[in-house]
Structure 1
Amino acid sequence: MEDGRKRKLLATASCQGLASDCLMDRLSELPEEVAHHILSFLEIKDLTCFGCVSKRCRKLYLSTPSLKFDGFFSKQLQRYDERLRLWSYLDNYLFHRWVSRIQRFHFHWVLHSYGSQQILQEDEKFRLDKFICNAIKCNVEVLDIKIKSWGSGAPLPTCVLHSGSLKSLSVYIYGRIIKAPSLASFSNLECLKLEGTVLVDDGLFNWISCSCKCIKELSLKSVSMYNATSSCNVTIESSSLESLCIERLSFIHHLYIAGEKLEQIIIDWRFGFRSDKPHTDKSLGICAPNLNSLNWRGSLMNQPNLGRLECLEEASICLLPSVDEFVYVSEVLSCLSSAKVLTLNKETTMALFKGGSMPLLENVWYLCIHIEGFLDFQVPAMASLLGGMSKLNTLIIKSDSFFRGPKAECCGFNIGYWKLQNAAFIYQLKEVTVELSHGSNGIEFDRYILDHAQNLNKMTIVHSPQQSSAMSELKKSKMASNITLVFQEDQERGPQNRTRRRVV
């Protein structure tokens, strides 16, 4: 019996050996670029295990152009000697693949806190900088650096922005100082993303405008300035830039953006707390004739100059105007006359309704607005806004779940008022979503749509439990039997403040 067991074990081992050899033969037959693509999905720990299998695997391990140095945050790396061994391994790996180009280098690290042992902290920072510089020497093209718990005061290695091989750079190191290269130092960067970093001065913006002739994407989030003055003027002017994102840069007072190829701009610019006075010391200028998408959030300044946006198709305007800035909201929206998709937050919508002069937005086919409720003073302004939208296809009206105003303020306009408007928007509508507030104005608006929207396919009405009986009446107003009519009962809109919805 023992001889039978031995023969079975030998047969099993033989089969496993054949399977392993077969697997290796299949791997060796793959083109190198295919094998490298497969290995690009592995983190460095798994890649290291792969490199120990055979000489062929080791060659692929040392030549793979895409590296992920991540996943080193376990409890096993709390002691300095353990982290030191890891650093030695990482340095040794880059040394052995010295001549092999790195196409993508993904490096995420958590800097350990050694308490009172400041010298250990500084040593690890030094090793981090050395490791980044060694990666740069491998002619890396795409560099993604994310280091947590860094602190402030230390500059980013100068070799990073001086690299001639870099095409994409993403840096997230809180408090890390970045000093711009000289204007004579030209860059091949196509994508630059900075988050949480600190600029020495405004030299980086000048360097981007003058020396980054290939840049297509620029993203600056939560970037501060080390020596910010009371008035910092920032100009970003590029003939190659296609996408720009600026978020939470509080040191900017005057911002000017220019680019013939700019297609997307995202701006989140807040000046602090909302004020009862307009921000006369702030200005925004945009010269982007081919802009396709604009997402603007934050504060509003006097007389923003958005230029001619004849190619604009999508705009999301979520501003926080002060009490005296409602007139500028209308001016901003007038610059968006070519937009086909438009989203407005509640503050922007309410300021627009107070302004009196309604912009002509005749190209809009998708509109999403947020209002306080269907208040009597809002209805004429809403009718004026919708009246100029002859191509409107999708309409979404959001309202506050509970508005603390007298009910009489929401009962002054019935279906007859909307009929008298003879607005062209009603004939192209295909999908409508309306969140009702209290009162009858919103219900009468819904009845008007159901009675007159000839091309309507679907309508969703969000209502309070107290409005359920009125919803039963609306079911009879369906113009065509093929319309999908959905009622959503929202408990938040009633006196019981619960977050449960029931679809009827």
Structure 2
Amino acid sequence: MESIASLPKRPKLPIPSNDVDPIDHGNKSMNDLPEPVVHHIFSFLETIDVIRASAVSTKWRYLWTSMPHLNFDYQAGWLNPLRQEFSSTRVYEKFKDFINWVLMAHDKSVNIQSFRVSCLNNDDDRSLYRWIKILAQKHVKELHLKVKSYKRGPFALPRYLLAPDSLEILELDLQRSVLKIPSDVGFSRLKSLQLVRTQLLDQNLFHNFISSCPLLENLRLEGCLFHDFKVLDISLRNLRKLFIDNHMCGGSFDERLRKCVFKIACPNLGYFHLKDPYAQNFSWDKIPSLLQTATILPWGWEDAVLHEELANYLLKILRGVCHAEVLKLGKCILEHLYPAVAEPRCFSTTFYNLKSLKLFTGIDKCYIRSIIYLLKCAPNLQLLSVYIDEEEYDCDYQWEIPDEAIACLTDHLKMVKLIEVDNSDYELELIRFLLKNGHVLEKMSIIWPSDLQRETQMEAIQEIMKFPRSSSNVTVTFSELKESDYDDVL
């Protein structure tokens, strides 16, 4: 192992990528700022830029040695400026020397609040583990690691990171590498865990790992592969946010959740996001009663999966989010929901707390029937936002929109926003239905696609303005699509 004492005193810093100084030399008032304020400002900079900024003032000359926030990005701060002068191997060696030097020179009486690094990891290089050991001695609270291994070698979570019992936030982006979890790992103070592009090999070790974090409030699994998992069991009493996104994670369909039973027991969950969620089965052991926002965005399914099987599976997910105040549903939800809608006895869930329903949907008989049935299930709904996809779905179900009393339309629904309306018959029929039955409706916003011809817009406006309205206070507005309109839905 390389000796820390043998490291260079101060490696040569790379040339900045532009001519702009990190700190404006003309701003003399910054010298008068309290040190904690300067630390906060510098926390948004790369550490290499903080050291450059120390030349601005003699008062700041050694300020960087007491910085509680350290940020190192190999590609952003080092690779581009020196690409022409040195080989990538030489540049990375300089990058490691710089981190070693900063950690050696850091004030020993100051703990490190957060450490963020984007680096490489080779099997024969222990630099990353040496840094983590120093951080453990400095009682680090936030650790953000983005690690790329060209050989896809595993990253072993070191046991000595547990010793200080100080870590509260852990984020690992392993770029498709395997995370090796020791059997006795657990963080008693950890509140947030994020795993990105990480391969997990053992379902029991993973379950024991997260279960050994009793204070965990935020769990994010993004682009992860679950090899040979039979059950993905997330049972955490204090968890507030659960984000699982397997879209574009690579690997085979089976390495995601296809052959896995997805089990959730998080009674205090407040935020739930599930993208590309299809598993062998789904169960809620404890339905969260404090749920504020639920987002369910199925991305795509195998052709071999039966339509009815998907409908039943999605209904299991929806039953677990029945207490949500805000519900966001992707297109596939409505596409596969209508078989169950045709048999209401199969889905008796009522969303009594739901105030806002945001949908990404197609627009034909099947989608509209699912939309109206969801309205029936949300008696206290106040806001409906719908983003309409132009793609048509092959639906042979014969059904007409009924004019009937729906609780939310009669008593609560005040705002409707329809995005990307292009004047199709089904869209106009949905608008007519909502205006005719929305007794307390105050505003309906209709947003055209940016490429919809002006003549088509005017034809639609003339027809819509003739529709009967139950609410005398409703205002109907028309506008063209803006980028911010997407954010309002999903």
TM-score normalized by the length of structure 1: 0.70
Tell me, yes or no, if structure 1 residue 430 matches structure 2 residue 396.
Answer: no
Q: Please tell me the residue identity of whatever aligns with 2:462.
A: S
Match of 1:324 in 2: 308
* Among 256, 278, 287, the residue aligned to 1:308: 287
Match of 1:241 in 2: none
Kindly indicate whether the alpha-carbon contact (under 8 Å) linking 1:136 and 1:159 is maintained by their aligned counterparts in 2: no
- Relative to structure 1, the CA distance from residue 405 to residue 182 in structure 2 (aligned partners, 3 Å threshold; closer, same or farther) is closer
Once the two structures are superposed, what CA deviation does each residue of 1:362-400 show, in whole Å capped at 9, x if it has no partner? 42222233443232x665554444234332211234443
Match of 2:477 in 1: 486
Kindly indicate whether the alpha-carbon contact (under 8 Å) linking 1:185 and 1:211 is maintained by their aligned counterparts in 2: yes
Which protein has greater RCO, CA pairs closer than 8 Å, 6+ apart?
Answer: 2
Tell me, yes or no, if structure 1 residue 100 matches structure 2 residue 91.
Answer: no
**Aligned ranges for residues 9-408 of structure 1 at < 5 Å?**
27=31, 31-51=34-54, 56-70=59-73, 71-76=77-82, 78-79=86-87, 80=89, 83-97=92-106, 99-111=108-120, 125-148=125-148, 150-156=150-156, 158=158, 161-164=161-164, 165-183=166-184, 187-199=188-200, 201-202=202-203, 204-209=205-210, 211-224=212-225, 249=226, 251-268=228-245, 281-301=259-279, 304-306=282-284, 307-319=286-298, 322=305, 323-325=307-309, 326-355=311-340, 356-357=343-344, 358-363=347-352, 364-375=354-365, 382-403=371-392
Helix, strand or coil for the counterpart of 2:431? helix
- Relative to structure 1, the CA distance from residue 265 to residue 300 in structure 2 (aligned partners, 3 Å threshold; closer, same or farther) is same
Paired with 1:90 and 1:444, the residues of 2 have a C-alpha distance of 63
More divergent stretch after superposition (40-49 vs 341-350):
40-49
Paired with 1:63 and 1:250, the residues of 2 have a C-alpha distance of 43
Report the CA distance between 1:63 and its aligned residue: 1.9
Paired with 1:380 and 1:37, the residues of 2 have a C-alpha distance of 53
Report the CA distance between 1:190 and its aligned residue: 3.0
- Relative to structure 1, the CA distance from residue 458 to residue 194 in structure 2 (aligned partners, 3 Å threshold; closer, same or farther) is same
* Among 425, 439, 443, the residue aligned to 1:458: 443
Paired with 1:403 and 1:335, the residues of 2 have a C-alpha distance of 29
Report the CA distance between 1:472 and its aligned residue: 0.5
Kindly indicate whether the alpha-carbon contact (under 8 Å) linking 2:211 and 2:235 is maintained by their aligned counterparts in 1: no
Paired with 2:157 and 2:210, the residues of 1 have a C-alpha distance of 22
Q: Please tell me the residue identity of whatever aligns with 2:134.
A: N
- Relative to structure 1, the CA distance from residue 150 to residue 169 in structure 2 (aligned partners, 3 Å threshold; closer, same or farther) is farther
Match of 1:236 in 2: none
- Relative to structure 1, the CA distance from residue 468 to residue 74 in structure 2 (aligned partners, 3 Å threshold; closer, same or farther) is same
Paired with 1:483 and 1:350, the residues of 2 have a C-alpha distance of 30
More divergent stretch after superposition (177-186 vs 423-432):
177-186
* Among 461, 464, 478, the residue aligned to 1:471: 461
More divergent stretch after superposition (187-196 vs 479-488):
479-488
Once the two structures are superposed, what CA deviation does each residue of 1:430-486 show, in whole Å capped at 9, x if it has no partner? 111346577644423322332442332221335676575353122133646753323
Helix, strand or coil for the counterpart of 1:305? strand
Once the two structures are superposed, what CA deviation does each residue of 1:236-286 show, in whole Å capped at 9, x if it has no partner? xxxxxxxxxxxxx46433122222222222233579559xxx96x532222
Paired with 2:208 and 2:385, the residues of 1 have a C-alpha distance of 43
Paired with 1:294 and 1:82, the residues of 2 have a C-alpha distance of 42
Paired with 2:143 and 2:269, the residues of 1 have a C-alpha distance of 28
Helix, strand or coil for the counterpart of 1:459? strand
- Relative to structure 1, the CA distance from residue 394 to residue 86 in structure 2 (aligned partners, 3 Å threshold; closer, same or farther) is closer
Paired with 1:469 and 1:127, the residues of 2 have a C-alpha distance of 67
Match of 1:449 in 2: 434
Kindly, what percent of the aligned residue pairs are identical? 25
The higher radius of gyration belongs to 1
- Relative to structure 1, the CA distance from residue 174 to residue 163 in structure 2 (aligned partners, 3 Å threshold; closer, same or farther) is farther
Report the CA distance between 1:203 and its aligned residue: 5.8
- Relative to structure 1, the CA distance from residue 122 to residue 33 in structure 2 (aligned partners, 3 Å threshold; closer, same or farther) is same
Count the aligned residue pairs. 425
- Relative to structure 1, the CA distance from residue 68 to residue 197 in structure 2 (aligned partners, 3 Å threshold; closer, same or farther) is same
Once the two structures are superposed, what CA deviation does each residue of 1:118-170 show, in whole Å capped at 9, x if it has no partner? xxx777x3444434433443332222222345432254472563342433222
TM-score normalized by the length of structure 2: 0.72
Paired with 1:302 and 1:203, the residues of 2 have a C-alpha distance of 18
Paired with 1:305 and 1:31, the residues of 2 have a C-alpha distance of 52
Kindly indicate whether the alpha-carbon contact (under 8 Å) linking 1:361 and 1:389 is maintained by their aligned counterparts in 2: yes
Kindly indicate whether the alpha-carbon contact (under 8 Å) linking 1:48 and 1:61 is maintained by their aligned counterparts in 2: yes
Helix, strand or coil for the counterpart of 2:230? strand
More divergent stretch after superposition (75-84 vs 40-49):
75-84
Report the CA distance between 1:96 and its aligned residue: 2.7
Kindly indicate whether the alpha-carbon contact (under 8 Å) linking 2:268 and 2:288 is maintained by their aligned counterparts in 1: yes
- Relative to structure 1, the CA distance from residue 100 to residue 196 in structure 2 (aligned partners, 3 Å threshold; closer, same or farther) is farther
Q: Please tell me the residue identity of whatever aligns with 1:40.
A: S
Q: Please tell me the residue identity of whatever aligns with 1:69.
A: F
Paired with 1:69 and 1:154, the residues of 2 have a C-alpha distance of 22
- Relative to structure 1, the CA distance from residue 173 to residue 387 in structure 2 (aligned partners, 3 Å threshold; closer, same or farther) is closer
Match of 1:16 in 2: none
Cα RMSD of the aligned pairs, angstroms, is 4.0
Kindly indicate whether the alpha-carbon contact (under 8 Å) linking 1:101 and 1:139 is maintained by their aligned counterparts in 2: no
Kindly indicate whether the alpha-carbon contact (under 8 Å) linking 1:133 and 1:159 is maintained by their aligned counterparts in 2: no
Once the two structures are superposed, what CA deviation does each residue of 1:387-426 show, in whole Å capped at 9, x if it has no partner? 34332211234443153769x989x747xx31xx222222
Kindly indicate whether the alpha-carbon contact (under 8 Å) linking 1:167 and 1:190 is maintained by their aligned counterparts in 2: yes
- Relative to structure 1, the CA distance from residue 331 to residue 44 in structure 2 (aligned partners, 3 Å threshold; closer, same or farther) is closer
Gaps of 5+ in 2: 1-24, 482-490
Q: Please tell me the residue identity of whatever aligns with 2:46.
A: E
Match of 2:7 in 1: none
Paired with 1:267 and 1:471, the residues of 2 have a C-alpha distance of 41
Paired with 2:312 and 2:157, the residues of 1 have a C-alpha distance of 48
Once the two structures are superposed, what CA deviation does each residue of 1:53-72 show, in whole Å capped at 9, x if it has no partner? 67753442322222222312
